[in-house]
Amino acid sequence: MSRYDELPWKFEPRPSTSQRLNIHTSPNTNARTIQNIKQCKHIPEADVEELCSKVIELLIQEANIQHVDTPVTICGDIHGQLHDLLTLFKTGGECPGTQYLFLGDFVDRGFYSLESFLLLVALKVRYPDRITLVRGNHESRQITTVYGFYDECVRKYGSVNVWRYCCEVFDYLSLGAIVGGKGGVFCIHGGLSPDIETVDQIRILDRKQEVPHEGGMCDLLWSDPEDVQGWAISPRGAGFLFGENEVNTFLHHNNILLIARAHQLVMEGYKEMFNQGLVTVWLAPNYCYRCGNIASVLTIDDDLNREYKVFEAATQDVGAIPSKKPAVEYFI
Amino acid sequence: MLSPLEKIDKAIRATDLDALACRHSANQANYITPQDPFIEPLILSYKSNLQYCSGYTNLSAGRTLRSVFGERKLPLINRGTYLRTKLIDQVTEEFIKQFDVCQILSLGGGSDTRGFRFLEKFERVIYHEIDFPESTKIKKVAILRNEKLKSIVESQGESVDITSKEQFQQLSPNLHTKRYHLQSYDLRKLSSGLTSEDVIPLLKHFDSSLPTLVLSECVLCYASPSENEEIIKFWKHQCRGLVSFLIYEPMSLNDSFGATMTKNLLQRGINLQTFNELPDLNSRLVFLSDICGLSHIKLTNMSDVGGYVIYSSSKKPWIEVSDMKRINKLEFIDEVEEIKLLFEHYCLCYAESSPGDITFEGVNEVRWESDDWS
Nearest-CA distance from B319 to chain A in Å?
A: 14
Catalytic member of A67, A79, A83, A138: A138
The answer to whether the CB atoms of A292 and B329 lie below 8 A apart is no
Active site residue A138: yes
Smallest Cβ–Cβ distance between B333 and the set A235, A290, A332 belongs to A235
Q: Is the per-residue pLDDT at A5 higher than 90?
A: no
Q: What CA–CA distances, in Å, run from A241 to A52, B68, B309?
A: 34, 36, 15
B220 at interface of A, judged by CB pairs closer than 8 A: no
Q: Is the per-residue pLDDT at B311 higher than 70?
A: no
Does the annotation place B240 within a ligand binding site? no
Query: In chain A, what residues touch B307 (CB-CB under 8 Å)?
Result: 235
- Quick check: B8 and B106 in contact, CB under 8 A? no
Residue B99 pLDDT grade (very low, low, confident, very high; cuts 50, 70, 90):
very high
Q: How many helices, marked H, and strands, marked E, lie in chain B?
A: 16, 8
**How many contacts does A have with B, using Cβ atoms within 8 A?**
94
Query: In chain A, what residues touch B332 (CB-CB under 8 Å)?
Result: 142-143, 146, 236-238
Query: In chain B, what residues touch A147 (CB-CB under 8 Å)?
Result: 74, 334
Q: What is the mean pLDDT of residues B70-90?
A: 91
B316 at interface of A, judged by CB pairs closer than 8 A: no
Give the number of C-alpha atoms closer than 13 A to the C-alpha of residue B246, restricted to the C-beta side. Answer: 24
pLDDT tens by residue, A149-207: 999 999 999 999 999 999 999 999 999 999 999 999 999 999 999 999 999 999 999 99
CA pair distance A319, B144, nearest whole angstrom:
47
- Quick check: B303 and B340 in contact, CB under 8 A? yes
Q: What is the mean pLDDT of residues B1-13?
A: 88
**CA-wise closest residue to A146 among A238, A227, A225, A64:** A238
CA B134, B135, B136, B138 dihedral sign is positive
Lowest mean pLDDT among A185-189, B181-185, B195-199: B195-199
The answer to whether the CB atoms of B77 and A237 lie below 8 A apart is no
Does the annotation place B131 within a ligand binding site? no
Burial A158-175 (b: 16+ CB within 10 A, else e): eeeebbebbbbbbbbbbb
Does the annotation place B186 within a ligand binding site? yes
- Quick check: A78 and A112 in contact, CB under 8 A? no
The answer to whether the CB atoms of A146 and B72 lie below 8 A apart is yes
pLDDT tens by residue, A80-111: 999 999 999 998 999 999 999 999 999 999 99
CA B10, B16, B22, B28 dihedral sign is negative
Q: Where are the beta strands (DSSP E) in B271-332?
A: 295-301
Q: Which domains does chain A have, with CATH numbers?
A: 16-314 (3.60.21.10)
For chain A, the 3-state helix, strand and coil shares in percent, each to the nearest 5, are 35, 15, 50
CA pair distance B349, B365, nearest whole angstrom:
15
Q: Is the per-residue pLDDT at B123 higher than 60?
A: yes
ipTM value of the model?
Answer: 0.87
The answer to whether the CB atoms of A331 and B268 lie below 8 A apart is no
Smallest Cβ–Cβ distance between B256 and the set A151, A224, A292 belongs to A292
Strand-strand pairing, B243-250 and A306-311: unpaired
Smallest Cβ–Cβ distance between B22 and the set A109, A151, A331 belongs to A331
CA pair distance A112, A155, nearest whole angstrom:
12
Q: Which domains does chain B have, with CATH numbers?
A: 74-365 (3.40.50.150)
The answer to whether the CB atoms of A265 and B18 lie below 8 A apart is no
Percent of chain B with pLDDT over 90: 74
